Amino acid sequence: MAAIDLNADLGETVDGVPTADDEALFAVISSANVACGGHAGDAASMREAVLRAERFSVAVGAHPSYPDRANFGRVAVSMDPAGLQAAVTEQLAALVAAGADLRYVKPHGALYHAVTTDPRQADAVARAVAGHAASLGRPLPMLGLGGAMAAAAASVGLPFVREAFLDRGYLPDGGLVPRGRPGALLDDPDQVAARAVRLALTGEVEAIDGSIVGAGPRTSIGASGVGGAAASLCLHGDSPAAVAMARAVRAALDRAGVEVRAPW
């Protein structure tokens, strides 16, 4: 049976106000990228996310970002590598202090894009994650698009797992359409569900110009690396149609005989 992970960005509380319906989303996903104080989240929201994850048998991943709550972590911040490593280390520690059994790490927002293309920032994040993995005594995978982050993970002995986005537009080169541009966001549950099934079964996603990105069959969960098929599919929890899309995706994968489970 084909299998794939379904992840969502959750625990993104701002000033005590949730930005997503976490309760509904935890019920249909297999991995939760939990905000850990950089762009959103606080001790209470992290603890709540951990408890929900336990209740729904969902794997918990850290979702560190630039320390920039004012911009929700979606604006690039100039940081030296040592400062970035320290910021990520602090965020991982905060989520662990809230009771999380971390299974993986996925950077958020502008940092996510930076570590895909900037080796210096990717190395800083990878060193922070590797330091935490050493304290755990087990590998701590990185989740992302590939590029510099995959290389940095390999350089410090971390597994890398590639993901694809269900609710973001793709460029012909495999990158994401920048937010604010036409085609950047998808919100139709049926369209997103069809994309999920296609990715899970063939590894293909259609770019905004109609070309095919990431073509190639995936044979089992855990496929990873630059250019490989995605082993995890992401939905953004703060999208207005997030719950409807997530439920449609889960139902479509079930109908297609694709098992939704975490690879961690």
The percent of residues in the chain predicted with pLDDT above 70, rounded, is 95
Q: Which domains does the chain have, with CATH numbers?
A: 3-260 (3.20.20.370)
Please state the rounded mean pLDDT for residues 104-117.
Answer: 97
Question: Rounded to whole angstroms, how far apart are CA atoms 224 and 144?
Answer: 10
What's the rounded mean pLDDT across residues 37-43? Answer: 98
Distance in angstroms (rounded) separating the CA atoms of residues 78 and 82: 12
pLDDT tens-digit map of 183-242: 999 999 999 999 999 999 999 999 999 999 874 434 333 333 334 579 999 999 888 899
Q: What's residue 213's pLDDT? A: 87
Query: Which region, left, alpha or beta, applies to residue 16 given φ > 0 means left and ψ of -120 to 50 means alpha?
Result: left
**What does the pLDDT read at residue 214?**
79
Residue type, 55: R
What is the average pLDDT value for the chain, to the nearest integer? Answer: 93
The mean per-residue pLDDT over the stretch 35-43 comes to 98
Query: What is the residue type of 263?
Result: P
- State residue 221's pLDDT score: 37
The Cα 47–Cα 212 span in angstroms is 40
* Mean pLDDT on 13-20: 94
pLDDT confidence of residue 233: 97
- Out of 69-78, 114-123, 228-237, least confident range: 228-237
Residues of the chain above pLDDT 90, percent = 89
pLDDT at 175: 86
CA nearest 203: which of 189, 190, 192, 219? 219
Q: What is the pLDDT of residue 50?
A: 98
